[in-house]
Amino acid sequence: MLAELCAVLARINLVGSLGVLAVLALRHPLRRAFGAEVAYALWAAPALAVAAALLPAPVLPGVPEPASLAQIFTGWAPVLATLWLVGAGVMAALFFRAQLRFLRAARAGRAGPAVVGVIAPRIVMPPDDGRYTAAERALVRAHERAHIDRGDPRAVAGMALARCLFWFNPLVHLAVHVARLDQELACDATVVRRLPGARALYAQTLLKSQLADAPLPIGCHWPARGAHPLEVRIRALLPTRRRDGLLGGVLVTGLVLTGAYAAWAIQPPIPRPTLITKFEIPDDTPAMSVVLISTRRASAPRTR
């Protein structure tokens, strides 16, 4: 059982890593061509590829029985499973601690803007201490509302779960960092698209915002930690000429579905079992004679 669990983790970790590498290579060209919203949608590819790798393998006739990946982990399965569980538990505990710290800061008025919660997300606004004007606070609220409308808090919760399950893979942590930056860029693009006249004021509001006192592992908050992500977000607000229409969405949908199908199709096929339709006796089978012996005594004929 533990060997099968290790084999499943190894398979989906490999598939997810390949999906992350593909997205990292394509996100910049897609953002330049179609915008941040289309580029962020590409992050669905690794998740769907992992889900497809968990589906039953294709069944094909005439293929030999594939070697089981679980055989590699047979001897080390208890040790590897224990290490994985300990690492996942430690990562989950760190996230829980950071989440509580952020919530305490929010109750004290030292956090925000942000969106917290997964099932029923709520907006955490910065303290009304005069730093933001009424128009800027309206833009902040529009940004956080866009996060909720797009379902970003649930996506961030899925990212946190991926970091717990694959804590040993540095590509997963890099992917979550980059995906959350792309999420903020996509949300910025959504607000500017809805309010095209507020582009300059929106950039000014970004520059006014301060870094959160505590990180938020499950939720949406801005700007991202560090100067470079903030510069990227300000630069992304500049008006640029991009291809409009459905081409970007159709392209990303095709890429995501192609990746999911490839993740399912590269699994070793399962041989189709042979069904016996009728019973036949081979010609070279020696003939057998069957003699029926009756144990009933023959009765003598009656005479009158």
Report whether pLDDT(295) > 70.
no
Summarize pLDDT for 7-21 with one digit per residue, the tens.
Answer: 888 889 999 999 999
Highest mean pLDDT among 66-70, 272-276, 289-293: 66-70
CB count in 10 Å sphere of residue 95? 18
| pLDDT tops 90 at residue 294 | no
pLDDT digit string (tens) for 151-202? 999 999 999 999 999 999 999 999 999 999 999 999 999 999 899 888 889 9
Region for residue 62 given its phi and psi (left: phi exceeds 0; alpha: psi -120 to 50; beta: otherwise): left
The pair of three-digit structure tokens given for residue 286, joined into one six-digit string: 């020696």
Number of domains in the chain: 1
Q: Taking 70 as the threshold, does the pLDDT of residue 67 lie above it?
A: no
Nearest CA-CA partner of 166 in 154, 152, 176: 176
Is residue 205 one of the residues assigned to a domain?
Answer: yes
Say if residue 203's pLDDT is above 80. Answer: yes
Q: Of the candidates 55, 63, 53, which has an alpha carbon nearest to the alpha carbon of residue 16?
A: 53
Query: Per-residue pLDDT tens for 43-54?
Result: 999 999 999 988
pLDDT digits (tens, 9 = 90+) for 108-164: 888 878 999 898 999 998 888 888 899 999 999 999 999 999 999 999 999 999 999
Q: Which two tokens stand for residue 92?
A: 């989950």
In tens, the pLDDT along 29-46 reads 999 889 899 999 999 999
Q: Considering the domain boundaries, does residue 29 fall inside one?
A: yes
User: Per the domain annotation, does 297 fall within a domain?
Assistant: no
Reading the block at residue 180, the tokens are: 């959350």
The answer to whether position 290 is within a domain reads no
Q: In terms of residue numbers, what domain contains 80?
A: 2-271
Strand partners, 115: 123, 220
Q: Is residue 289 part of a domain?
A: no
Is 166 within a domain?
yes
pLDDT(73) > 70: no
Residue 278 domain flag: no
- The pLDDT score that the predictor gives to residue 206 is 83
Q: What pLDDT shows up at residue 83?
A: 92
d(CA 47, CA 44): 5
Banded pLDDT at 293 (limits 50, 70, 90): very low
The yes-or-no verdict on residue 289 having pLDDT over 60 is no
Position 302 pLDDT exceeds 90:
no
The answer as to whether 298 is a domain residue is: no
Query: Length of the chain in residues, anyone?
Result: 304
Give the confidence band of 292 by pLDDT, cuts at 50, 70, 90: very low
Q: Are 164 and 171 a contacting pair, CB within 8 Å?
A: no
Helix H or strand E encompassing 252: helix 247-265
pTM as predicted: 0.81
